[in-house]
Amino acid sequence: MWLPIWLYSSPNTSSVFLYNDSPFILTAIVQASDGSYLGQVTLQPGQQRNFTTNLNPTDWESPGTPDISLTPYSVAWQCASEGYYSIVSGVSPGAFVSASEGSGLHYCAPKPKSSEKPPASSLQKSKQVSK
């Protein structure tokens, strides 16, 4: 009996489509529902990316291990300077997640200016003219 290949294939249920629809450079940090870190990716304004994590089942069994679901995910959109642009909770596998749909400030403060000391001397070098 011959069956089409699509019957054996399944969608990648461990992907999240990320879209930075803000005017800032943001880092999307993906976490599982138990709080474990799954990964991160930095996106430029207007950039989109498919974030995929491997959640294939294994044959490993350990007695006494709690059954914890890794889904739904949480995506924290972090600013390049400091702080968070937004946080999106309850993200299903295969979902489209944009930075502006989460709760948060939806703003990134500019990077603070460095507090370098002024130069020890204010003398300027001048070009020497050879004769």
pLDDT means over runs of 10, the chain (131 residues) = 45 78 96 90 96 63 60 94 93 94 93 72 68 62
pLDDT of the residue at 63: 60
pLDDT of the residue at 3: 45
Query: Sheet of 96-98: strands edge to edge?
Result: 48-52, 15-19, 96-98
pLDDT of the residue at 53: 77
pTM > 0.75: yes or no: no
pLDDT of the residue at 54: 63
pLDDT of the residue at 42: 96
pLDDT of the residue at 112: 75
pLDDT of the residue at 12: 41
CA-wise closest residue to 109 among 24, 30, 43, 39: 24
